[in-house]
Amino acid sequence: MTNSSEIPGYGTYLKNLHSKPGASPEQLRQYLRKVSKSEIVASTRIAQGEANEVYEVSFENGMGVIIRIDSRSGKQFEGERWAISRCAELDLPVPEILSIDTYENSNTSCSVWIHRKIDGVPLSQATSKPKNLMILGHKCGEILKKLHTIETKGYGYIDNVGNGKFSSRKGEASEYFALKETLMDAAESHRLDETLILQVLTFVTDFIRDNEPTPCLMHNDYEPKHILVKGNVVAGILDFGEAASGDPMNDLVRFSMSDNILFDSFLNGYGDHDFERVMTYRLGFNLFVIAGCHRKGIESGVQYANRRLHKDIEHTGFHRGV
């Protein structure tokens, strides 16, 4: 099953990004001794995400782990740990965190996250029959609905106690509008409709600023490639690195880009929702993709998001100005 949320050209960008030298075998052994003194029998680097080096590691004793290394300054992973811990309290299928530590290497520091590997394949790669996809989609919706019962404060990326970056939606809206310069540059460089993009940006920003729903925990990257399945069972929800506090409808956006069968069954599992709100946030997501792909030089990604932007407008309250 293809995952329609995959952005053309982004996979190649990630492979190039992760082709650069990473942690040495000695450094990996140092980090992994924290969770097992058994010999490492296999270590594979995975081109996943932009912030971290990611490795799948197998030990002689049969244990398997995923290790993520973040070399940015400051403490990382704290919001993600809080989110996963709260989800575990609700018996949601999240990874078992084995270790989170900070290390000093050659005058630089890095944060290292290790969790136990969950057996399964990403839902985006599952070869299930339509009936089984409906079962899995329904379960994914139920899981997200339960996740959204976790209370948070504020809006935006969360800290180590579940507080969002902004105290009100005005701050969140400002992050969207900060895209203006990049979007205008992208419009000029790729021959996009500059006037339309600016009008959509204003529409989405005004919507966010004027609507202040009760915030809850958002996975914020909830889509089939981050969901592991085994048969008809959802085995694990991965990658809480974007965990945020905000409007739960915003958390339905990534799944809305799945196959119709999967998304329809997902909505049935999730229950009550506001489709127009989902699609309004999806307009904002398209703008972020246009801006991000433009910065990274991914022409095909810019054009793909622009086509999707035009198509999605019809499902919202947006009306083009004269």
Look at residue 279 in the predicted model and tell me its pLDDT: 96
The band of 2, judged by pLDDT with boundaries at 50, 70 and 90, is very low
In angstroms, the first-to-last Cα distance of the chain is 42
Which tens digit of pLDDT belongs to each residue from 183-229?
999 999 999 999 999 999 999 999 999 999 999 999 999 999 999 99
Residue 274 has pLDDT above 80, yes or no: yes
Look at residue 4 in the predicted model and tell me its pLDDT: 43
Amino acid letter, 10:
Y
Percent of the chain with pLDDT over 70: 96
Look at residue 206 in the predicted model and tell me its pLDDT: 96
Give the C-alpha separation, 119 to 56, whole Å.
Answer: 12
Look at residue 73 in the predicted model and tell me its pLDDT: 56
Q: What is the 3-state secondary structure (H, E, C) of the chain?
A: CCCCCCCCCHHHHHHHHCCCCCCCHHHHHHHHCCCCCCCEEEEEEECCCCCEEEEEEEECCCCEEEEEEECCCCCCCHHHHHHHHHHHHCCCCCCCEEEEEEEEECCEEEEEEEEECCCCEEHHHCCCCHHHHHHHHHHHHHHHHHHCCCECECEEEECCCCEEEECCHHHHHHHHHCCHHHHHHHHHHHCCCHHHHHHHHHHHHHHHHHCCCCCEEECCCCCHHHEEEECCEEEEECCCCCCEEECHHHHHCCHHHCCHHHHHHHHHHHCCCCHHHHHHHHHHHHHHHHHHHHHHCCHHHHHHHHHHHHHHHHHCCCCCCC
Residue 248 has pLDDT above 80, yes or no: yes
What's the Cα-to-Cα distance from 167 to each of 140, 157, 171, 215, 245, rounded to whole Å? 30, 11, 7, 11, 10
Query: At which residue do the structure tokens 């379960």 appear?
Result: 139
Residue 273 has pLDDT above 60, yes or no: yes
When the pLDDT of each residue in the chain is averaged and rounded to a whole number, the result is 93
What 236-239 contacts at long range (C-beta under 8 Å, 24+ apart), as own/partner pairs, is 236/93, 236/94, 236/95, 236/118, 236/120, 237/87, 237/92, 237/93, 237/94, 237/143, 238/95, 238/118, 239/48, 239/49
Look at residue 312 in the predicted model and tell me its pLDDT: 95
Where does residue 197 rank: exposed (0-12), middle (13-18), buried (19+ CB within 10 A)?
buried
The answer to which of 40-49, 57-66, 196-205 has the lowest mean pLDDT is 40-49
With 0.85 as the threshold, say if the pTM is over it: yes
Residue 281 has pLDDT above 70, yes or no: yes
Q: What is the mean pLDDT of residues 140-165?
A: 97
Cβ atoms of 144 and 152 closer than 8 Å: no
Residue 308 has pLDDT above 50, yes or no: yes
List CB contacts of 82: < 8 A, sequence separation 6 or more.
Answer: 158, 159, 160, 161, 162, 243
The band of 162, judged by pLDDT with boundaries at 50, 70 and 90, is very high
Query: Would you tell me how many other CB atoms lie within 10 Å of the CB of residue 205?
Result: 22
Amino acid letter, 302:
V
Which tens digit of pLDDT belongs to each residue from 68-118?
999 875 567 999 999 999 999 999 999 999 999 988 876 678 899 999 999
